[in-house]
Structure formats: C-alpha cells, structure tokens
Chains A and B, each alone.
Chain A
C-alpha cells in the first residue's frame, strides 16, 4: 500500500516537472541497451506475452544479454510465464535492480508483478498513474549492458503505449513486432495498432500471426480454429513484412510453468523453428 501511495502522489504532483526532465534520465538508464524492441497488438489474448518471453529466451539461448520489460500494469503476465512469481525487485543507489531469470544473469526482467504483495491484488489506476509507473520503469531500472530490451505491452493504443512511444523517441527504438491472431475480429484491432505505429513514427519489423492452426493430437487434422490467413492479408494490406506464423501448441502453453525456452525443451517443434528463424532475422537486420 505504501508503495502504491508513493507512486500515485509523486506522479500527480510532479506531472509537469517530469515531462521536461525525463529524457536526461532515460538517456542515462538506457545507455547500455543496444536495441529496443516493442511487442504490440491492438487485441488482447493474442500471445504478446508468450511471444515476448519466448523471444527473450530464444535471444538469450543465442548468446545475447536480454532485458524484458512488462508494461502491462493491470495484467502482468511475464512473471508467471517465466516462473518468477515470488521474486522481488531490489533497490540500489542507482535504481531498481531487475529480477534475473537465470544464474548467469543474462535475462533481466522487470514487471509490476514483482512489486505486488499478493497476486490477486488489482492495480486500479487511471492513466496518469500508469504513465508515472511506466516512466519509472523506463528511467529507474538498472539494465546495465544488454543487447536487447524487449518491451511487452498491454492491448490497446492508450496511456501505456503513448508514454512508451514518447519516451523512446529520444532513444534508439529499433521497432515493433506486431502480434495478431488470424480471425477478423483480432485483425480489426491490430490494424488500428499499425495505424498507431505509423502515426507515431514507430518502425514496424513485421507481423507475427499466432494461434494459426491447431493440429488435433488424435487425428492430426489441422483445424483453423480462429480462421486462417488474417495475418498475411493484414501484412499485405498495410505493406508490412509478414514475419512468422506460430501454430497453437498446448505444449508451449505448458512451458509457462517452467520458464524454459521452447528451443531447449521442444527443439524439434514447429514453434521452435519459428523462433529460431525470428532470432536470425532480427539479429541479421541489426547487423546490416
């Protein structure tokens, strides 16, 4: 409770002050970060957090140092997906020390989930308070030297997104990965997210279509539960590269408990191949 109060009032009161000063802090804190990637989707429940965590793990497996920042304040999923639910963030003189998912400290994670005492507690915050928190996440976390900072976002095009976009404007933000599912209802919302990126000048790496088809374990028939082809159609419509198609795999859902990379536990699965290719593409485009 103390923590919530502290943040709320600091934000309310400093509203005007922070706007001018933030860039300086940001520059310092994100100095050691080489690349920033955003994972976005207008729609909820399409797999943003799953893709973010698996991508972070896959980059880590490829030898990079990775940071994962979860700015979904009302529904943080990253701590659960990486099996870090009971961990705490520590405060140092330089700022917040993120939680490390591995012994070698190659994957650093920050989420509001680490700051809550009880997992059932809801964060009932209006925009300005969320904005304050997101700013703190961007300015007060000691990431140290990392190659990739992946930012996992909530659905929509509102406070969290505007804040992240505004604050990253002065830092090198490499671009956004847009996640969608194939059905028209999801594509509608994702189209709006693409518009958001275009309006705000965020580069889009490409579109990932998740939950593309389900292979029945007993008869091997592939059913397109959420219809098919929505992601490709969208990428053509908005002229953005189509990066990958990830099938529904209940095995991947179960990985959540272990916090392990699909590359390690299910190296031969289709999902693993997709992530291997994705890492390749991302790292290549960086070097070029």
Chain B
C-alpha cells in the first residue's frame, strides 16, 4: 500500500495548475506522471465542437433546482409546449440531461419512442412539428433499466447529446436537469459556456426544506457565472376540487419563493398551483394546454412564459440589460 504523507492535501497544486506534477510535493504522488504529461491542461476541443453544432440555436435555457421533485420536468414540458404552440414558426427543443432519472419521455408523451441515427447525427424525437426531445430514456431497451453510472460517464453522455444531436435551426433549446449541483450541471454549463447560455430558470416549491437547496443552486449559478432569468414557485397552493377551498400543502413558513427571490436579488417569475389535473396529464403524457384549456393554471403559465420570452429578447440586445 502506498505511503502517503499526511500533508499532501495542503500543497498539491491541483490538476489544472501549470505546476501540476512538477511541484516538490508531487514526487510521491501516484498521479504525478499523468499531471506532468500536461494532459490535464490541454484545452478541450469539445467546447468548440459544441459551439459550432449549436450555432443555429438562438436561446439556450437551463431549468435548474437544487431540490428534486419540485417540478423541473413538468415545468420544462409546459414551457416548451407553450412556446411551441404560441407560434408555429418557433422551433423548440428539449434536452433531458437527467441521466439517472429521465422523465421527459413520459411527460411529453413519447415514452417508448426510438432515436434514429442519420448522417448528420442523432435525430431527436418529434412531439409536434416544432417541438423535439432528446433524452437517455430513448436509448434504454427497457423502462426498468437503471443507468448506474458515475460522473465521467454521465459527462460523456451529455457531451454526446450536445455535440451529436441534429437539432436543426432552433429558437429555444431547453435543458431539463437532475437535482443537485454536480457532474451533469458542471458539464452542461462548461460545455455550453462557449456556445453561450441565455439564462437559467430556477424552480422551487414554497417550503423551507426546498428553498434551502434552491439557494445552493443560485449560489452555483453565480459561481459558474451564468445569468438567472428568474425563479418559478411550483405547488404553491392546492385548490380542493370538491370545495374549492385553497390549502397550503407545502407551507411557505419563510415567505416562499417570492421572498427568497427578493433576498437573493433575482426576478420572481410567478407561482403555479398544485393542480391534480396537471399531474394527471403529465403521467399520461397529454398536452395540458389542449386537454384543459380553461384551467387558471394556463393563464399563470402564459404570463410566466411571456416574461421568459421578454427576458431572452433583452439578453439578446445587451445594451438593454440592467446590470443589477
């Protein structure tokens, strides 16, 4: 067994440093050869490849939340469907980078579909003429198959999704992410950095235990320096279908998403209620917008989507950005 000096951690220059493998402390390190060879410092060509591939995509949005089960996938599907139905000339695509728990094939109603390979790359699955989806769910032979992968493999998959899918010309590419601030998020943001990320939409639920994790996600966005378009609060109230009384199931003891947004100085885009009909539509993969067009949830959604469109337009014309 290797004998490791106890103080190695404090003096290791790190793999990205120009001293990697060359510092005196590296002498006993089993990774010295790798660090010294300079491999770890070479620029990654993938970022350029992705930049070229996504040059025809106007807006690249990320849907993030530190917390799981808050409705990232549901809201991603709602926003994409709403954008696609608002104007047939707008092309929208969703990329599901939740590798271990892909939900988009179900909520967009294309479960069991297959991805086809063509000369120009993987063809995404089309839900509407102007709405397409790519997810690892399409690549699994069986719905019960588990993707038991560590980080590097997940990163490789995301790299492939970003560089090898033939999206065509797009107005919006929306990335649906898993919860957390780890491999998937770092990979997506670093690969997209050269191509330019329009912004991030943060999803939360009102209760404090979710807000705690969402605060971390906002901290992440600031650390990696990507703009936040705003925060959407999901499951804010529940209207009993029997007596029409509204109840706070996940009580906002600390003021919910709105107060957090103010405190952290990000825009609050709106609140969506907890709607059992919406949950049902997602499970069945139906389009909520056409199934229950009279639902008040849709009105709220449309205001939120309009705000997102406005923010994207604003970011495209940098002179109008307010620097706050």
Contact = CB atoms under 8 A, between A and B. Distances in A.
Main SS class of interface, B: loop
Given A195-B146, A225-B274, A44 B67 contact: yes
A216 B242 contact: yes
A15 B4 CA distance: 11
Interface in B1-20: 1-2, 4, 8-10, 12, 14-15
Given A42-B100, A192-B100, A74 B179 contact: yes
Contacts of A45: 67-70, 179, 205, 210
Contacts of A233: none
Interface string B26-64: 000111000000000000000000000000000000000
Given A6-B10, A189-B103, A122 B181 contact: yes
Contacts of A159: 150-151, 182-183
A156 B178 CA distance: 9
A192 B220 CA distance: 28
Interface in B207-222: 207-210, 212-213, 215-220
Contact of B8 (A10, A81, A186, A188): A10
Interface stretch (A25-33, A93-101, A123-131, A266-274): A123-131
| Residue with the greatest number of chain B CB neighbours at <10 A, chosen from A9, A75, A121, A216 | A75
B240 A185 contact: no
Contacts of A63: none
A124 B212 contact: no
Interface string B89-102: 00000000001110
A133 to B, nearest CB: 12
Contacts of A157: 100, 146-149
A157 B147 CA distance: 7
A43 B9 CA distance: 35
A14 B28 CA distance: 11
A196 interface: yes
B154 interface: yes
Given A121-B216, A121-B219, A224-B276, A191 B144 contact: yes
Contacts of B146: 42, 157, 192-193, 195-196, 199
Nearest to A156: B100
A181 to B, nearest CB: 7
Interface in B180-231: 180-183, 185-186, 205, 207-210, 212-213, 215-220, 223-224
A130 B182 CA distance: 9
A188 B143 contact: yes
B280 interface: yes
Contacts of B242: 216, 219, 221, 223
Contacts of B150: 127, 131, 158-159, 162
Contact of A195 (B101, B145, B243): B145
Interface string A31-75: 000000000001111100100000000000000000000000111
A42 B101 contact: yes
Given A9-B8, A45-B68, A75 B213 contact: yes
Interface string A170-188: 0000000000010111101
B249 A214 contact: yes
Interface size class of B (residues with CB under 8 A): 35 or more
Nearest to A186: B69
B145 A192 contact: yes
Interface in A220-240: 221, 223-227, 238
A128 B147 contact: no
A221 B242 CA distance: 7
B318 interface: no
Nearest to B205: A45
Given A9-B12, A10-B9, A227 B106 contact: no
A16 B10 contact: no
B113 to A, nearest CB: 15
Contacts of A225: 238, 249, 274, 276, 279
A191 B251 contact: no
B82 interface: no
Contacts of B8: 9-10, 13-14
B126 interface: no
A126 B151 contact: yes
Contacts of A183: 279, 282-283
Given A75-B66, A120-B218, 5 more contacts: A13-B30, A21-B1, A42-B100, A158-B148, A223-B242
9 shortest interchain CB distances as A-B pairs: A44-B68, A45-B69, A127-B151, A74-B180, A156-B100, A221-B242, A75-B213, A189-B101, A195-B146
